[in-house]
Structure 1
């Protein structure tokens, strides 16, 4: 039986301090990778479990909306040993329908979810090209495939990535770089607090498996796409959503 072994690989997880990013960082480290988490938080996230695994994870503060800082920090990480895997999970999500979405809210979503993540991807891909290959995994959302009432800017920012992942895959595949994305459904992270308990229950009842995802379930898909098992997978937007998209409009 094949297992995922990332021993000797170096990974970055942008947005790795909380939620899906944090779970992904730990999954990569459990598979043997040396992981650097990057987020606006100055302090490293607390990782429980094996001390050996936690010791493979380090942390650096980075605001992905500051493009010059992204380029500098990723280059420093590259110079320190290279980047083989880039998991891009940083995002902002703020509720606002189209008519109430002001310019500042729209710009915050584009600065982080689009421009910031693109800068991270581009910087990582340039380094991976020099190294002869690598894996880029973007954390998208089912909200990039269907609308989510009251989240105009967020849905727009995630929808852009569905096609950009395909384009990046076409550009990068000949250089041995896999670019794919995971599209989480409703997941029990800190962002779930945007919804009240009744809304959470209503959403869970509408998902075919009748519950929200755990961050670990999303991280398992990230780990697959970051591993040699996905060497022939390019340009895929993989829903991990309990059947949410298969169910049709809710």
Structure 2
């Protein structure tokens, strides 16, 4: 049985990924920073469906906590076959209003966290000559978003890291891909008004917003053998908004 680790797995896209991988027969582990009750509820939901999964508390912006996360998870479930770097935070506001702490938090979770997790997962994958790493960027990493400069910069960095790692790890049989979601119905976008949501839906060629499950379906595909000849790619799960 293959094992996946999904960062930021207690809610939103991460939670949908946990359920998708578990339903496909994977051993699933995820990490969360603050959402302990949501993580425990997810464990119970999986159990009620005859599935299993474990949540671990870790802040991916802290390399020491990432090391502890992997060590604990590997003791319980074994090495990671597919890493899904999903954890992320957003900041909406003018760049000139951002504090150093605001900037560092966005970069720490959205970019540094991907680096820490990839660095920790890679040696085992190289030894075994197999594995999949999937990063979650954003449409703003492709196009840039007004009043989301730090988030856009971090997510663009994730895309660059993905493409570089795909070239670096390809000879070892390790694939690295990225998903760039559009506007998805998640808690992160909970601050949007109904009017804002409708405007974004109207700007999307498919005329609606996406669901976490649609992103999770793409994540599962890219992590499985059906995608064995796909690496270094950025898949926009965005209803076509990035090309509109």
Q: Is 2:196 the counterpart of 1:203? A: no
Q: Any conservation in 1 of the 2:185–2:211 contact (CA below 8 Å)?
A: yes
CA–CA separation in structure 1 for the residues paired with 2:54 and 2:46: 15
Gaps of 5+ in 1: 1-7
Which residue among 112, 118, 122 is the counterpart of 2:109?
112
Deviation at 1:90, TM superposition (A): 0.3
**How many matched pairs?**
240
Q: How far, CA to CA, are the matches of 1:242 and 1:109 in structure 2?
A: 26
- Counterpart-to-counterpart distance in 2, 1:15 and 1:227: 20
How far apart, CA to CA, are the structure 1 residues paired with 2:127 and 2:80? 10
CA distance in 2 between partners of 1:101 and 1:50 (Å): 40
Work out which of the residue numbers 238, 241, 246 in structure 1 matches 2:238.
241
Q: Secondary structure at the match of 1:169?
A: helix
Q: Which residue of 2 aligns with 1:92?
A: 89
Which stretches in structure 2 are left out of the alignment for 5+ residues? none
Query: Contact 1:29 / 1:53 at 8 angstroms: preserved in 2?
Result: no
User: Structure 1 residue 175: deviation in Å?
Assistant: 0.8
Q: CA 1:79–1:51 in 2, change beyond 3 Å: closer, same or farther?
A: closer
Q: Does 1:186 align with 2:183?
A: yes
Q: What's the TM-score, normalizing by structure 1?
A: 0.91
Show the counterpart of 2:161: 164
Given that residues 8 and 14 in structure 2 are in contact (C-alpha distance below 8 angstroms), is that contact kept between their aligned partners in structure 1?
yes
Shift of 1:53: 4.8
What is the match of residue 25 of structure 2? Answer: 32
Rate the CA distance shift 1:45–1:149 in 2: closer, same or farther, 3 A: farther
Structure 1 partner of 2:69? 73
Q: TM-score, normalised by structure 2?
A: 0.94
Give the RMSD, CA atoms, in angstroms: 1.6
